[in-house]
Structure 1
Amino acid sequence: MLTYTYNHESSNNHQELSLANQQLILQALSSMPMQLQQKEKSLQIENTKLKSENIELQSQLNKIENKQQELINEIQDLKQLVKRVYQEGEVQIQYQKQKNQQLKYKNESLTKALLNLQNNLETFAQLKNLSRYIDDFEISRNSVMEDSYIQ
């Protein structure tokens, strides 16, 4: 009898365990939709947050892209300005080179004219001295002639 009782108790335990397991499984299955709903709700909340962050990041990206385009346009404008200034500088340099060349020619001409003038002044001074000498000579000759005529 001992064995029977043991077997009977064992069978009762097994049925109780089986019933407890079934209840646990039923509880787990019944609570599973609620857990899934809660998980789905938290995922929806997270999804909404991520969508909001995505919209904000897209807005920031658009602002950055617009700023980038503005900077690209500004760089292109500056390149054109530098190119124009360089070209104007080249034109100015060519103009100044031509003007310097003209001034060199004028300077050379004026230097030659000055030398000619100095030579002419020296010649004029010599001619003036010669003229005085001739005048003095004629005066003294006339004086000598008058003296000899008077005598």
Structure 2
Amino acid sequence: MICQKEVRVLRLKKVNKTDWCLVGILILSAFLYGWGIWDAGSANSYYTAAITSMTKSWSNFWYGAFDPAGFITVDKPPVALWLMAISAKIFGIHGWSVVLPSVLAGIGSVYLMYQLLAPKFGVWAGRVGALILTLTPTVVANSRTNNMDAILVFFLLLA
């Protein structure tokens, strides 16, 4: 039978366990994905125009309208654009503010990759998987734009 003192020690060991390799990988992904987003200009101008329209009215926001009149919608589901429009509404419409949700989704994808692999295959497999995802060139490129791909990958990993 385990005494109360041993139970407290076991609980404390679980709480204080930080994977510093994962922290380093997440910092590396934040650096790679966030580097140069202040020079994004209008990023993908098609989606930036839609985001600008979406910040003007709730109807345009809800339906992902491309034009200010709300007549033409974007050719993709608007969930990723909703996140970008919220960011643009908070920070203003700038290249970096519409790219910021993609950067955060990319970093979140790295963390989710670790969380998906580590319990089943061990922490080293989780670290390697997270590092490979961090260094994959197309992931880096997509996390620096306001295309939907980084947010799509995040939600696919979350599912």
Task: With the length of structure 2 as denominator, give the TM-score of the two structures.
Answer: 0.20
Greater per-residue helix proportion: 1
Q: Which has the larger radius of gyration?
A: 1
TM-score by length of 1: 0.21
The structure showing larger relative contact order (alpha-carbon pairs under 8 Å, at least 6 residues apart) is: 2
